[in-house]
Chain A
Amino acid sequence: MRGCSSRSKTAHSQGRAVCMTNCPTLIVTVGLPARGKTYISKKLTRYLNWIGVPTREFNVGQYRRDFLKIYKSFEFFRPDNEEGLKIRRQCASAALNDVQLYLTEEGGQVAVFDATNTTRERRGLIIQFAEQNGFKVFFVESVCEDPEVIQENIVQVKLGSPDYTNCNTEEAVEDFMKRIKCYENSYETLDEVLDRDLSYIKIMDVGQRFMVNRVLDHIQSRIVYYLMNIHITPRSIYLCRHGESDLNVRGRIGGDSGLTPNGKQFAKKLNQFIQTQNIQDLKVWTSQMKRTIQTAEALCVPYEQWKVLNEIDAGDCEEMMYEEIQERYPLEFALRDQDKYRYRYPKGESYEDLVQRLEPVIMELERQENVLVVCHQAVMRCLLAYFLDKTAEELPYLKCPLHTVLKLTPVAYGCKVESISLNVEAVNTHREKPENVDVHRTAEDALQTVPAHL
């Protein structure tokens, strides 16, 4: 996110840490099993990390699985199973302990505590824990009574769970339904009156309706906005670069050139490919640079131009070959190899800047259904990193070759990726990180990984 002055520390007084401006946030999920809590936890965590807020999820069910090794049946979750309750309480404590470590000693900013947390009593304990440590608490409750949605949920993520590896589908569904029943009697939903002092969002019927109470700060506001924009309607996102451009073949970065004959060929093939995919209501987005617009023109459908999809601005290095950058700015060239994510071209941008300007694109991609985004190498790397949960270290080296379409389809807790090469020749524009990133390296060492060009 934007550059910040250092994070304030917490002060302690009377066993209650005082929340300073940037104190960590504990997000607490609430809801019966199969209401999408883990789906939301993982997705939210992925989004926050991508925009630069160090976030981690803590799934209490995972702690339980690590402790118990073998799951027998729903009986473990019966409210009268003392042994079971003891273990479950221990797992919750262990998880909170790790939360505390993460937020106070490991540089975490947000922790997502993923469990049912269906009783006011349990939530009260968590609030106490947070107050003692100076964490802000934000509840995310998912309420849903639609049996079809719940069924689909169970099919998508429960059948594949380690808990049910040795059961057939019928057995698993039956057991899971009984598991849900174990929670139902003691479930106390967040209440408008009783819980009016808490900060929370209640998501009803998979996003048809929301109740939002006492949003305290910027990060909670962003979280609410994000949660209100995501959906689970099946769809696919297609990512590709523009067709091969004139500057591409000459090994020059940036600029605003048009397509080569190969590039035009790709545009035609892209059109054919899209037709065969038979996509319902496809939206097409491009940047405002010639090469993506020319590519989209071949599709003969309306498309939308976003300036924020423009390629990374290489500043003083615009339209230079890597060889020229090495000759004129050898120091800069080495610094970039040392930290490609954060390095900012003189008078240009960094990948980190790019992520920030792409955030509205991601938000709108979440809102939309079937979309084809025709963009650029660095931009595509950033978008891909969001969907595939890649770190800042990996992001600038993700492979996004020309003339290849990536089809992303959300499935279970993640994203299925299909890579489709449209079989049109193109130069390679991918420069791997060289072995020697020292500022005193020789020109050969620096240029070792530069791909071939005219």
Chain B
Amino acid sequence: MEQENMRRSRCDSTASVPQFCNSPTVIVMVGLPARGKTYISKKLTRYLNWIGVPTKVFNVGQYRREAVKTYKNFEFFKPDNEEAMRIRKACASAALSDVAAYFAKEYGQVAVFDATNTTRERRAIINTFAKERGYKVFFVESICDDPDIIAENIKQVKFGSPDYIDRDIEEAMQDFVQRIECYKASYMPIDDEIDRKLSYIKIFDVGSRYLVNQVQDHIQSRIVYYLMNIHVTPRSIYLSRHGESELNLLGRIGGDSGLSPRGHKYAGALASFIRGQKIKDLKVWTSHMKRTIQTAETLGVQYEQWKALNEIDAGVCEELTYEEIQENFPEEFAMRDQDKYRYRYPKGESYEDLVHRLEPVIMELERQENVLVICHQAVMRCLLAYFLDKAGDELPYLRCPLHTVLKLTPVAYGCKVESFFLNIEAVNTHREKPKNVNVNRNPEEALLTVPDHI
């Protein structure tokens, strides 16, 4: 009860979702194998965590693999296999138990229960479990009968699964197809009449059509919006900073300076690189600041300027060197090192604020296909953290050097990253977290990790 009271007390919200301190939510996946449930679960979890909603996936298949060390074949999933049925039920229970612990003890806000959940009976058990504890339930059902999509799915994620490690491709494919058949006979999709009181979204044919029923609250509304914007069409996202700027050379942060001579060279190199990649229908985005615009100009293509992509606002520290910050604001400088993600510059922003303002950019990146984003160090760290699932403590220290393009290509459940340094020298602007973050430290300790500059 005390925990409930804590939840209901006044909430401060810098996260992208107003923290109404509501009851936790269980998202329940529904669908035959190879319908993208785990893909959706992981992606949704990554997104929710990035916008500041503590979320975790509970994959029942994982519990099964831990309970039954070796997977033999599809026979395990036959509906008349009583022994297996018992194990599978126990795994589901164990997972639900962990969901409860996640909410009660680990301050989780959303749990994604990733399993087939294809029978009404199984879904009723979960519903009861949730109602008893005051959790909200939101179902996400993926329906797809396109054999090409299912085959591609199996290739991308099933062959690499621990279940099929010692099988050759044909064997694995055959076995998996039989596995799917085991579920088909008893599959009861969510019914628009019988289940009209439930809250759910049905995704048809990888997002060509959706049915949304009884959205209860803000977080469910955001989840629906997100799910309706993602797609699986192959594409790549290119992230790069502007070319080296005049203020970069001087070791000064922020500001709105133009490119240095080397920065201009980089713009040219970027143009060549992009041409060499032969990208179809590339969209180019920049911020409203001179240095990204100058970089984009050299590409000779249309680009779109987003104010939301502007560099983090350093407030009173704008255009100062780290040495000057240490001299004028030693305490602030130390506090920033103590919690770089949440620390807000006086009259400026924090990384946390940055994530909030970048959310529409991420949403639009999800909708788009091939995009090149020319932005800034802190901004690029935030975007990268979203794609690579990096948490608040790692995010502000991700390496995003000048004159380097990161090419992100979604693959399986994650993102492949290729790094291209375009061979134009530039200053280093990456300041590691110093050992001593105490407010009483001396200037040398504070400035130990400051990179060189003029």
Interface residues of A, Cβ cutoff 8 Å to B: 2-5, 192, 196, 208-215, 217-218, 221, 224-225, 228-229, 288, 302-308, 318, 347, 353, 356-357, 364, 367
Contact = CB atoms under 8 A, between A and B. Distances in A.
A2 B209 contact: no
A304 B11 contact: yes
B90 interface: no
Contacts, number: 94
A150 B56 CA distance: 43
A105 B192 CA distance: 45
Nearest to A256: B347
B422 to A, nearest CB: 25
A229 B221 CA distance: 7
Given A5-B302, A212-B228, A304-B18, A228 B208 contact: no
A221 B8 contact: no
A60 B308 CA distance: 39
B10 interface: yes
A92 to B, nearest CB: 28
Contact of A228 (B11, B221, B353): B221
Given A2-B304, A215-B228, A304-B20, 11 more contacts: A2-B308, A209-B196, A210-B212, A211-B211, A221-B225, A221-B229, A228-B225, A288-B12, A305-B13, A306-B18, A307-B356
A228 B215 contact: yes
A366 B306 CA distance: 26
Contacts of A212: 209-212, 228
A302 B10 contact: yes
B10 A211 contact: no
B212 to A, nearest CB: 4
A304 B11 CA distance: 6
Nearest to B283: A21
The winner among A209, A353, A367 for most chain B CB atoms within 10 A is A209
Contacts of B9: 302
A356 B307 contact: yes
B69 to A, nearest CB: 44
A304 B210 CA distance: 33
Contacts of B356: 307-308
Interface in B291-347: 302-308, 318, 347
A218 B364 contact: yes
B353 to A, nearest CB: 6
Query: On chain B, which size bracket covers the interface?
Result: 35 or more
A367 B220 CA distance: 11
B260 interface: no
A3 B305 contact: yes
Task: Tell me what chain B mostly uses at the interface: helix, strand, loop, or mixed.
Answer: mixed
Nearest to B309: A2
B19 interface: yes
B198 to A, nearest CB: 11
B13 A208 contact: no
A208 B213 CA distance: 6
A271 B173 CA distance: 67
The winner among A2, A304, A347 for most chain B CB atoms within 10 A is A2
B228 A3 contact: no
A218 B18 CA distance: 24
Nearest to A210: B212
B430 interface: no
Contacts of B8: 302
A303 B10 contact: yes
Given A228-B215, A302-B10, A214 B357 contact: no
Contact of B11 (A221, A288, A302, A318): A302
B218 interface: yes
A209 B214 contact: yes
Contacts of B192: 209
A224 B356 CA distance: 22
18 contacts: A2-B304, A3-B305, A3-B306, A5-B302, A208-B213, A212-B209, A214-B209, A218-B364, A221-B225, A225-B228, A288-B12, A302-B11, A304-B10, A304-B18, A306-B18, A307-B13, A357-B357, A367-B221
B311 to A, nearest CB: 12
A330 B110 CA distance: 53
Contact of A218 (B302, B306, B367): B367
A5 B297 CA distance: 12
Contacts of A196: 209
Nearest to A349: B307
A201 to B, nearest CB: 9
B179 interface: no
Contacts of B20: 304
B130 interface: no
Contact of A221 (B14, B228, B353): B228
Nearest first, the 10 closest Cβ-Cβ pairs linking A and B are A3-B305, A210-B212, A212-B210, A5-B302, A213-B209, A209-B213, A2-B306, A302-B10, A225-B225, A305-B12
Contacts of A304: 10-11, 13, 18-20
B390 interface: no
B304 A228 contact: no
B177 interface: no
Contacts of B213: 208-210
B204 to A, nearest CB: 9
A2 B221 contact: no
Interface in B214-253: 214-215, 217-218, 221, 224-225, 228-229
Contacts of B367: 217-218, 221
A204 B213 CA distance: 9
B259 to A, nearest CB: 20
Nearest to A8: B302
Contacts of B19: 304
B291 to A, nearest CB: 16
Interface in B8-42: 8-14, 18-20
A237 B39 CA distance: 40
Contact of A2 (B210, B214, B305): B305
Contact of B212 (A215, A228, A302): A228
